Amino acid sequence: MTGSERPAARAAEVPSPLDPALAARLKRNADGLVPAIAQQYDTGEVLMLGWMDDEALHRTLTTGRCTYWSRSRQEYWVKGDTSGHVQHVKSVALDCDADTILVKVDQVGAACHTGDRTCFDSGQLPLEQ
């Protein structure tokens, strides 16, 4: 399998690399993906949202670096490989429904591709009360 072939697209051919109990718990969308929230481990700051399939989650759990599936490029990407803005994994958890992954990381540099610290730095919406 090359770096850009998706296991989810070949589910019948490629077994999940995850522990079977974990793979059975995950609730994936129609594309075989689960949203993954990256949060700074020591401050609680929400950094970004990415997408993981079984292979990306497996790589994240086994390498200590966040690996995501790029929906636009249709390939895996390891946060920081091109930018140097690495996410060192501290812990990984599933929410109560097993349809969202929370990855607590030690973020080096900006988390957002725009160069902002987080992907939520410029999107403050006004509250109507």
Please indicate if the annotation marks 96 as binding a ligand.
yes
Alpha helices in 1-127 (DSSP H): 20-25, 54-63
Please indicate if the annotation marks 31 as binding a ligand.
no
Of the candidates 31, 28, 88, the residue with the CA atom closest to the CA atom of residue 63: 88
Please indicate if the annotation marks 66 as binding a ligand.
no
> Based on the number of CB atoms within 10 Å of its own CB, is 33 exposed (0-12), middle (13-18) or buried (19 or more)?
buried
Q: Report d(CA 47, CA 114) in Å as an integer.
A: 12
Please indicate if the annotation marks 97 as binding a ligand.
yes
Annotated binding site for Zn(2+): 96, 112, 119
Annotated binding site for Mg(2+): 95, 97, 99
Annotated binding site: 95-97, 99, 112, 119
